Amino acid sequence: MKLTKTASVNKHILKIRKEEWLSIGRQNGWITQEASKPKKAKRGRCVFPSDNPKVTDNKDHYPYNSLSQARNALSRMMQHDGCPKWYKGTLDELRGAIKRSVYKAYPGLKNRKKERDGK
């Protein structure tokens, strides 16, 4: 089968790697820099999303999309001896924010803690 000029060009285009294609598109103005970046995956509900002013590393922290994640967030906050490097604030503020968010979403956890502690 003889390739026409258009078919041979298309075949050549298919061989170009994605990075090269994006580079060519940026150089020619077809693609903006922002459009070529991969989109950040959403993690659902987080106590400290990446756009929170107290988060310094632009990552989501303490997700609580399920009951098990909520329990995990509460247990992990108690493991901190000092304030984490990514958080701009005090350890008490961090723990308070985690408790507020988790107990608001899962009030049964707070009631269970009260029953367990006898308060």
pLDDT at residue 6 greater than cutoff 60: no
CB atoms closer than 10 angstroms to residue 43: 14
- Tell me the two tokens of residue 10: 């298309």
One domain, residues 84 and 103:
yes
pLDDT attached to residue 112: 77
81-109 pLDDT per residue, tens: 999 999 999 999 999 999 999 999 999 98
10-68 pLDDT per residue, tens: 556 566 666 777 777 777 777 766 655 556 666 789 999 988 999 999 899 999 999 99
Residue 17 domain boundaries: 5-36
- What distance in Å separates the CA atoms of residue 107 and residue 112, rounded to the nearest whole number? 9
pLDDT attached to residue 85: 93
- What distance in Å separates the CA atoms of residue 116 and residue 100, rounded to the nearest whole number? 19
Does residue 13 form part of some domain? yes
Q: Are the C-beta atoms of residues 36 and 71 closer than 8 Å to each other? A: no
Cα separations in angstroms, 79 against 9, 67, 69: 60, 19, 15
> How many folded domains does the chain comprise?
2
Does residue 88 form part of some domain? yes
Does residue 25 form part of some domain? yes
One domain, residues 26 and 64:
no
Does residue 41 form part of some domain? no
One domain, residues 74 and 27:
no
One domain, residues 100 and 61:
yes
Q: What is the pTM of this model?
A: 0.61
Tell me, what DSSP letter sits at residue 46?
Answer: E
Helices 67-77 and 107-117, interaxial angle, to 10°?
50
- What distance in Å separates the CA atoms of residue 81 and residue 53, rounded to the nearest whole number? 22
